[in-house]
């Protein structure tokens, strides 16, 4: 366990998430504008056949600009339609007029935690699934949604439900729903670029020039070849790398949301107890699709990559190991009970 108070933990997780997003954007820039740079070097007048009068010389970064426009378009579309699609895919229905005591309790808890977080009350949705789980989605604080499964209401007491709702509200307050929507869009763009490149080279588009190295010397040709190989590997691995970066951001945000829940409720032990009940549930959350798994408080698919720490979890897990999250919350609860001060970070 590392030291530092709750707010230092929040700052640390924000810095790590910002660094991961920066790496993601730099990788995207290399895919787009790196291709333009390689074409620029390959079509300089000294490069064999490109030295002919009127030969094409690549100077305007069309590839990078088109990729950027595509990314912006997909990000805008995901921004506007992503939350509705997630809710629709899960079969969720909006809870407007509670008819059961548990539903009324949920409405009361959401209203209380929204006040504690300083947020407008989000719309509340019920997911018809017996497995306990919850997620938040939306485009901003005023257009946010919280969805909980019927199994969550059945499994948790009021304090535990309050802690879970606070966790989801923290995703809204910390702009996680915006961040994950953007990352999902960029993952989609890179997958499209990778697919297009595979088709292009598969149809013989790799015949850029057999005499690239003939006009400018072996050094220049070797540099172009090295850059081209690195770029091709990057493009082919883009869907995997981008997905891993998005998962890494998601895991960091879960730790931050846990800490924020403790801040809002002053009761980290309640969230630890809720996570234990969610973890002990036997069945996966069938109503929540693979593409929305990173939004949930716990992995709805029950994948082994989220069970333990290590290389496998770091590469493929959508969530930090539940045992580690629970241990951190228990440590916070112990410190709070011991000192009466909200608590030492973990």
Per-residue pLDDT reduced to its tens digit, 114-142 = 999 999 999 999 999 999 999 998 888 88
Most confident of 28-32, 132-136, 220-224: 132-136
The rounded percent of the chain whose pLDDT value lies above 70 is 73
pLDDT for res 274: 96
pLDDT for res 346: 45
Mean pLDDT of 133-156: 92
Per-residue pLDDT reduced to its tens digit, 234-255 = 888 877 777 777 677 777 788 8
Mean pLDDT of 303-332: 70
CA separation for the pair 200, 255 (Å, rounded): 42
What mean pLDDT is reported for the chain? 78
309 is catalytic: no
Q: Does the CA dihedral 290-91-302-146 come out positive or negative?
A: positive
Mean pLDDT of 20-43: 82
| Catalytic-labelled residue, pool 168, 254, 279, 344 | 168
Q: How confident is the model at residue 48 (pLDDT cuts 50, 70, 90)?
A: low
pLDDT for res 30: 86
Mean pLDDT of 306-319: 58
């Amino acid at each position: 366990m590392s030291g530092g108070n709750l707010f230092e933990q929040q700052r640390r997780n924000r810095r790590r998430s910002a660094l991961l997003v920066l790496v993601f954007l730099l990788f995207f820039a290399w895919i787009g504008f790196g291709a333009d740079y390689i074409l620029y070097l390959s079509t300089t007048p000294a490069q064999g056949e490109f030295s002919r009068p009127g030969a094409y010389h690549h100077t305007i970064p069309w590839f990078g600009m088109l990729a950027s426009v595509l990314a912006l378009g997909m990000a805008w579309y995901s921004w506007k339609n992503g939350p509705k699609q997630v809710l629709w895919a899960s079969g969720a229905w909006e809870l407007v007029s509670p008819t059961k005591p548990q539903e009324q309790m949920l409405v009361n808890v959401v209203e209380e935690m929204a006040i504690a977080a300083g947020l407008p009350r989000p719309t509340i949705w019920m997911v018809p699934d017996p497995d306990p789980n919850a997620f938040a989605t939306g485009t901003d604080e005023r257009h946010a949604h919280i969805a909980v499964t019927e199994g969550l209401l059945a499994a948790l007491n009021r304090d535990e439900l309050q802690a879970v709702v606070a966790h989801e509200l923290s995703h809204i307050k910390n702009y996680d729903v915006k961040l994950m929507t953007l990352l999902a869009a960029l993952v989609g763009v890179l997958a499209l670029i990778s697919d297009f490149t595979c088709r292009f080279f598969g149809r013989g588009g790799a015949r850029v020039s057999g005499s690239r190295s003939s006009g400018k010397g072996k050094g220049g040709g070797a540099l172009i070849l090295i850059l081209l190989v690195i770029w091709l590997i990057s493009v082919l691995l883009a869907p995997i790398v981008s997905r891993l970066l998005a998962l890494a951001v998601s895991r960091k945000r879960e730790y931050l949301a846990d800490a924020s829940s403790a801040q809002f409720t002053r009761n980290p032990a309640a969230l630890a107890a809720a996570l234990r009940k969610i973890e002990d549930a036997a069945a996966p959350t069938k109503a929540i699709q693979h593409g929305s798994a990173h939004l949930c408080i716990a992995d709805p698919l029950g994948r082994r990559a989220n069970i333990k720490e290590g290389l496998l979890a770091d590469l493929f897990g959508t969530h930090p190991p539940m045992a580690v999250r629970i241990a951190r919350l228990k440590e916070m609860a112990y410190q709070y009970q011991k000192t009466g001060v909200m608590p030492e970070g973990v």
